[in-house]
Chain A
Amino acid sequence: KQEVTQIPAALSVPEGENLVLNCSFTDSAIYNLQWFRQDPGKGLTSLLLIQSSQREQTSGRLNASLDKSSGRSTLYIAASQPGDSATYLCAVLTGANNLFFGTGTRLTVIP
């Protein structure tokens, strides 16, 4: 059974700092891995999708990496801003077209 874990559960950083969020999954048989952002009381916004054959994806200040064999992914945020404050969720897509979500990392960027 697929299990997805995110560390840390919460993170506070001063504005401008670079940071890394971690995600690990137990079953490497995945189609892709996605990183989402969720603001309080809102839905999810897709940030990056990495196919199982890819190693990384970049979008602006965000860079996500994937090491499928070891069951790990990282989301790197450069030059953090207060507007980056949100909960970040990683999710892996399995053969049944189901998305298994991690527990989330709640990020606070302090001005």
Chain B
Amino acid sequence: DTAVSQTPKYLVTQMGNDKSIKCEQNLGHDTMYWYKQDSKKFLKIMFSYNNKELIINETVPNRFSPKSPDKAHLNLHINSLELGDSAVYFCASSHRTETQYFGPGTRLLVL
């Protein structure tokens, strides 16, 4: 029973396409997150979201948008994909400021 799951695990697509990555958590957490891990393995927060507030890292292009259909899901939509978007994207969840639990990651390659 995976606590935080992401689909797809791998995503290969052409420049300019629009794609989505799905994230689901079954931990009953109130806050979910998206992180980007670049080629140098550095992890950086993109968004944090609970049912009251979306906090966006100022460096994230507006081509990226999180959408939450319910408390257990936070999907990531990316428009007009660029080469530099190639990275591993991690979803995570937590109860308020407690330990964050991470998904297995989605490896995105933009050609």
Contact = CB atoms under 8 A, between A and B. Distances in A.
Interface of A: 31-32, 34, 36, 42-46, 49, 87, 89, 91, 93, 96-101, 103-104
A29 to B, nearest CB: 13
B57 A101 contact: no
The 10 closest A-B pairs by CB, nearest first: A101-B43, A44-B102, A43-B102, A43-B104, A98-B45, A46-B99, A31-B97, A49-B99, A97-B48, A43-B105
Contacts of A49: 98-99
B27 interface: no
Contact of B45 (A36, A46, A99): A99
B79 interface: no
Given A97-B31, A98-B48, A44 B90 contact: yes
Nearest to B31: A97
Interface in B32-47: 33, 35, 41-45
Contacts of A93: 97
A104 B97 contact: no
Interface residues of B, number: 24
A103 B42 contact: yes
A42 to B, nearest CB: 7
A18 to B, nearest CB: 25
B43 A46 contact: no
B103 interface: yes
Given A44-B90, A87-B41, A104-B41, A97 B101 contact: no
Given A96-B55, A98-B48, A46 B100 contact: yes
A104 to B, nearest CB: 6
Contacts of A32: 97
Contact of B33 (A36, A99, A104): A99
Contacts of B33: 99
**Best-buried of A34, A89, A97 by chain B (most CB within 10 Å):** A97
